[in-house]
A and B are shown apart, each in its own frame.
Chain A
Amino acid sequence: MTVSAAHHEPPAFDVREFARTAQGSLRDDLDLPAIAAEPPSHEVARTLAALAVLEGATMAHLRNVLVTSTHKDARVTAFLVTWAFEKFWIADALRAIVAAGTGEEPGSAGRPDAAPAQTGRVAASAGRGPVRRALAGFTQGWAVVGVHMAVGFVDDRMLRAAHLRVVDVAGSPPLAAAVDRILRVKARHAEFFEGEARARLGTSARAARLARRELRRTSWPLGGSALEPAELDAFGRFAFGGDAGRAALGVLEHEVRGLPGLDARTAASVTASLAALAARPVA
């Protein structure tokens, strides 16, 4: 296998600075009493709980990334280490918001006490676990880094859309402020993923081709297998169902097509899978 150099100008994102200024616990920035005073609806709380699981499901995704050549790119792994840390605390913030809204005393940090993880599924994307990915990694070489960046970008935009839908439906200023705080943390993640994906897919036809294939084959949202099926379906319905959901999917499709090398078919495949999730009958 030949390792081809990524012939692109290094993007401007300063990973060291990002790592240095990593956002830990957000609890001090959340007005939990105000949220408790205006508790969210069951629907909204349920979605926030699902988002907590999805945002926190970093290790499965990290595994799928690390078993490929991407683990050798020290700049990317440096980013991912901090990314996982920030996502951990985002998940914690979401759990705190849910707990405030449902009247329970929030835990100090850490473990998901919401929907239990499906421990039977090893792959973050069904049927394409670490062994298959590692074997595929033999032939994919460096192009695979671009693929992971594209996946990271799409995952980020997708969850962002769900967060925004929560704000719209809840119509609660304290909740909106809390979600906004979370989205500000996520903004840097999108910036990195987008910059890297743009540079890599834009300069390597192979990376673009592999990215198109990966995006079409991925089970969205990432980490969905960590949710109970009923919760995943409810999440899909809330975030991507109805007119508002369709509009959000339209935006997402546009964002995916905005990356070099990603075509209409790929973008449509991503949004179609989410639309299908949203359309699943209520259990």
Chain B
Amino acid sequence: MAFDIDRYTATSVSVHWDDLDLESFRDSPLPAESLRTLRYMADVEYHTVCYTRDLLTTPSHREADVSAFMTMWNREEFWHGEALAAVLAMHDVTVDYDALKASRLKLGWRDRLDPIKQSVLGSLVGSDFVAVHMSWGAANEWSAITAYQRMADLEEHPVLAELLRRIAKQEARHVAFYTSQARERLAASAKARKVTRFALSRFWAPVGSSISSDDDVRHVMTHLMSGPEGRRAARKVDDSISGMPGLDGLTIVQDALDRIGVPG
């Protein structure tokens, strides 16, 4: 089914939590390892605007629907960051502008090269590269939904679960956009299928990898995706990804977990 961009923009809202009792975290705080994971997730959400930059330096941004989606998506993800930061604040962990700036600064040279690389790579294969971005976006958003669901299941904290549920619900619409775009573009072009398959299988790493230390990535993936339940969740994401034209057989999430050394 085609994604209804008009309906999406008309109903895009920032996630709210004013009706949730965040004070409950004072009485039953989350353990340190969970806070570390939440911090990782907040960073990912806040970093969306930088990923937007990467998207904007390739032909993706010129299309009206993509542009409208990105405007709303950016804002929704920003508010996901704020929501997670609010939970962290209840545990006296501050994620403010200066802290975010500091972590973006840490990325240094690698970060600077990204838009140049992507822009040049993008022009090399033209609008077929949009298929890569959309497929990549779909993989990331599916992973994010899975991560939020796993976190909610593992913590069994009702306020956290509700907040993460609300965030995941918004991510589901992002997935819908990315998949409808990816499917259409992959189906239309053999070159797009080839380039996307190559890019995903060679370069994809769990969302947040490029902005976090290897330790943090390992911690979060181990926390959320260990054991048979974790693997099952990973397999579900891989099934969704590999269900897209030209991507059959790909197991990028499970492969990433193997690489990181997350126990199955």
Taking Cβ atoms with an 8 Å cutoff, the residues of A that contact B are 3, 15-16, 19-20, 22, 24-25, 58-60, 62-63, 66-67, 71-75, 77-78, 80-82, 84-85, 88, 107-112, 117, 119, 122, 129-131, 134-135, 137-138
- Indicate which residue in A3, A63, A66, A88 contacts B71 across the interface (CB closer than 8 Å): A88
Chain A residue nearest in CB terms to B57? A130
CA A152 to CA B32, docked complex, whole Å = 42
Q: Is the CB of B100 within 8 A of A74?
A: yes
* Residue of A20, A24, A77, A108 contacting most chain B CB atoms (<10 Å): A77
Chain B residue nearest in CB terms to A121? B62
The answer to whether A109 and B9 touch (CB under 8 A), given A74-B104, A84-B74, is: yes
The answer to whether A58 and B115 touch (CB under 8 A), given A22-B14, A74-B100, A130-B57, is: no
Asked if B178 lies at the interface with its beta carbon under 8 angstroms from chain A, I say no
CA A59 to CA B115, docked complex, whole Å = 15
B49: chain A residues within 8 A (beta carbon): 66, 71, 77, 80-81
Q: Is the CB of B104 within 8 A of A82?
A: no
CA A122 to CA B119, docked complex, whole Å = 11
- Indicate which residue in A58, A74, A110 contacts B5 across the interface (CB closer than 8 Å): A110
A122: chain B residues within 8 A (beta carbon): 59, 62
- Indicate which residue in B50, B65, B71, B97 contacts A84 across the interface (CB closer than 8 Å): B71
The answer to whether A66 and B5 touch (CB under 8 A), given A59-B56, A81-B74, A134-B116, is: no
Q: Is the CB of A138 within 8 A of B112?
A: yes
B-side interface mostly:
helix
Q: Is the CB of A131 within 8 A of B119?
A: yes
B74: chain A residues within 8 A (beta carbon): 81, 84-85
Q: Is the CB of B68 within 8 A of A25?
A: no
Q: Is the CB of B101 within 8 A of A107?
A: no
Interface residues of B in 97-118 (CB under 8 A from A): 97-98, 100-101, 104-105, 111-112, 115-116
Q: Is the CB of B5 within 8 A of A111?
A: yes
CB of A50 to closest CB in B, whole Å = 16
CA A110 to CA B116, docked complex, whole Å = 29
Taking Cβ atoms with an 8 Å cutoff, the residues of B that contact A are 5-7, 9-10, 13-14, 46, 49-50, 52-53, 56-57, 59, 61-62, 64-65, 67-68, 70-72, 74-75, 78-79, 82, 97-98, 100-101, 104-105, 111-112, 115-116, 119-120
CA A60 to CA B57, docked complex, whole Å = 9
What are 19 A-B pairs with beta-carbon distances under 8 A? A19-B79, A59-B61, A62-B56, A63-B53, A67-B57, A71-B53, A72-B105, A73-B97, A74-B98, A85-B75, A88-B68, A109-B6, A111-B68, A112-B64, A117-B62, A130-B56, A131-B115, A131-B120, A134-B116
CA A81 to CA B104, docked complex, whole Å = 17
B104: chain A residues within 8 A (beta carbon): 71-72, 74
The 10 residue pairs across chains A and B that have the minimum distance between CB atoms: A66-B53, A63-B56, A74-B100, A72-B104, A75-B97, A74-B97, A111-B64, A109-B9, A67-B115, A77-B49
Q: Is the CB of B71 within 8 A of A130?
A: no
B13: chain A residues within 8 A (beta carbon): 24
The answer to whether A81 and B105 touch (CB under 8 A), given A62-B56, A108-B10, is: no
CA A18 to CA B111, docked complex, whole Å = 28
B59: chain A residues within 8 A (beta carbon): 122
Q: Is the CB of A111 within 8 A of B120?
A: no
The answer to whether A25 and B116 touch (CB under 8 A), given A66-B52, A71-B49, A74-B97, is: no
CB of B112 to closest CB in A, whole Å = 7
The answer to whether A81 and B10 touch (CB under 8 A), given A3-B105, A111-B5, is: no
- Indicate which residue in A107, A109, A134 contacts B112 across the interface (CB closer than 8 Å): A134
A74: chain B residues within 8 A (beta carbon): 46, 97-98, 100-101, 104
CB of A136 to closest CB in B, whole Å = 11
Q: Is the CB of A22 within 8 A of B112?
A: no
- Indicate which residue in B61, B101, B111 contacts A73 across the interface (CB closer than 8 Å): B101
B64: chain A residues within 8 A (beta carbon): 110-112, 117
- Extra 8 A-B pairs, beta carbons < 8 Å, given A72-B104, A75-B101, A131-B115: A20-B14, A24-B13, A60-B56, A66-B56, A108-B6, A108-B7, A110-B10, A131-B116
Q: Is the CB of B9 within 8 A of A88?
A: yes
Chain B residue nearest in CB terms to A113? B64
